[in-house]
Structure 1
Amino acid sequence: MDTFKIYFKNFFIMILIGIIVILISKYTNKPTCIFYNYIGIPCPTCGITRAFKYLIKGDLNKAFYFHPLFPLVLLFPMFCTKYSKKFIYILSAIFISVWIIRLYLLFPNTPPMNINNDSILFKILSLFK
């Protein structure tokens, strides 16, 4: 299988997952992020769906506000096929670094970096208080 077919397959799978997540979120009226629902803090990719939503609406400033690395998501299928694991580790380190900066600057009261007090971890911790 050539690189283009693998890239297209990975891109299609990501689009399909994104559509499913958006539909689940729309009908449950809750975020679908497992990290956010269980731990209570936003994950490193938190805000990417909203960033794409604002990009589609033409509001580039708001798109970058919700996640400054959202354009890299479009390139991720190519990274999985063309480049080494080392490159994926570097990309992951960039996402985690930006996540920590966003948590520090926007946490805990500014969406998309707000706390989920209904998360399972917070419910367990409240039992010990």
Structure 2
Amino acid sequence: MKNKTRDLLFFVIAIIIFYALLFALGFTCPIKAVTGISCPGCGMTRAYLSLLRIRPDLAFSYHPLFPLPAIFLLAYIFRRRLPEKFKKIGMILVLVLFFLVYLVRMADPSDDIVVCRPKDSIIYRAYEYVIKK
């Protein structure tokens, strides 16, 4: 049990360090940086930062599903006490919710968090750089 807790803690710390490095380099989302298309989780980090600043209204505007990772962490901690059926239904529900929120946000042209701008991607810029040379 202690090894699993230590591994989970190590994993969470590694993710935090990874994202801190990305922010330091000017990237907010690795998928968006490479493709120019936002991922379904875009806005999640900004939502948590807003929550730390005690701005839940702003947090929900960045990503309305931002509480779910914390709920997943609790579910992981108590996974042995949860019925298998509950875990499966919960996972499907979360995936459907993320997909629906992503589609709605992607279809909203006024949403500047979830965007589709392939010309801003690293791939496109590299392509232009190679073509112009």
- Structure 1 position 30, deviation (Å): 1.8
User: How far off its partner does 1:42 sit?
Assistant: 0.6
Tell me what 1:30 maps to. 27
Provide the secondary structure at the position in 1 that maps to 2:40: coil
Q: Which residue of 1 aligns with 2:119?
A: 117
Q: Select which of 62, 65, 75 maps to 1:69.
A: 65
Maintained 8 Å contact 2:27/2:33 = no
Give the % identical residues. 25
CA RMSD between the two structures: 3.1
The structure that has the greater radius of gyration is 2
The 1:77/1:16 distance shift into structure 2, 3 A limit, reads: same
Q: How many correspondences in the alignment?
A: 121
Question: Structure 2 length normalisation: TM-score?
Answer: 0.70
Unmatched 5+ residue regions in structure 1?
Answer: none
Where do 5+ consecutive residues of structure 2 fail to align? Answer: none
Return structure 1 stretches of 4+ with deviation > 4 angstroms: 8-11, 123-127
For the 8 Å contact 2:35–2:123, the answer to whether it is kept is yes
Q: Which whole-Å CA distance do the structure 2 matches of 1:75 and 1:43 have between them?
A: 20
